[in-house]
Amino acid sequence: MGPVSTADGHLSDGLILVVEDDPLILEFLCEILQEEGFTVEPQISADAASQFLEQHAPEVGLLLTDITMPGKLNGADLANQFGDRWPDKPIMIMSGFETPKSSGVKHRVAFIKKPWAVGQLLDCVQSALKPNRTV
């Protein structure tokens, strides 16, 4: 699945790399963000997202990832790799089970607890994309 764009994509913000292992949640997240004009790249695992970043990191303006995922990497591992390599790019994490701190994330991130409301999700994305974001 390639990047999905809308006519007025927030190109200055770059691509939002959306990483979620539940296909229905992934599709829903991408639809919400696209309706707001963002360009998204859906990935079903942290492993797949890590491979995508090897080729497309300059295009990514925000990493949005769940923490708990099957595979070699989980969302916390992905967030740490992303933050280590691209420290100026924002990270947003979501989880219903863990927090960034409890899962070992060592970078500043925006966090939203699952289940979230659409308005909360969009507020968190906007906050993460602001230059002086807070933890």
- Confidence band (pLDDT; 50, 70, 90) for 47? very high
pLDDT at 13: 60
pLDDT digits (tens, 9 = 90+) for 116-128: 999 999 999 999 9
Comparing 13-17, 56-60, 63-67, 97-101, the range with the smallest average pLDDT is 13-17
pLDDT at 132: 57
* pLDDT of residue 42 exceeding 80: yes
> Shortest CA distance to 81 belongs to which of 63, 68, 98?
63
How much is the average pLDDT of 28-35? 97
> pTM of the predicted model, to two decimals?
0.88
Torsion of CA 34, 28, 30, 13, to 10 degrees: 70
- Confidence band (pLDDT; 50, 70, 90) for 14? confident
The Cα–Cα gap between 25 and 47 comes to 18
In sequence order, what are the residues at sequence separation of 6 or more whose Cβ sits closer than 8 angstroms to the Cβ of residue 13? Answer: 38, 61, 62, 129
- What residue has token string 């280590």? 84
- What residue has token string 């595979």? 71
- Confidence band (pLDDT; 50, 70, 90) for 131? confident
* pLDDT of residue 107 exceeding 90: yes
* pLDDT of residue 49 exceeding 60: yes
Beta strands in the chain (DSSP E): 15-19, 40-43, 60-66, 91-95, 110-113
pLDDT at 40: 98
Half-sphere exposure of 125 (CA within 13 A, CB side): 29
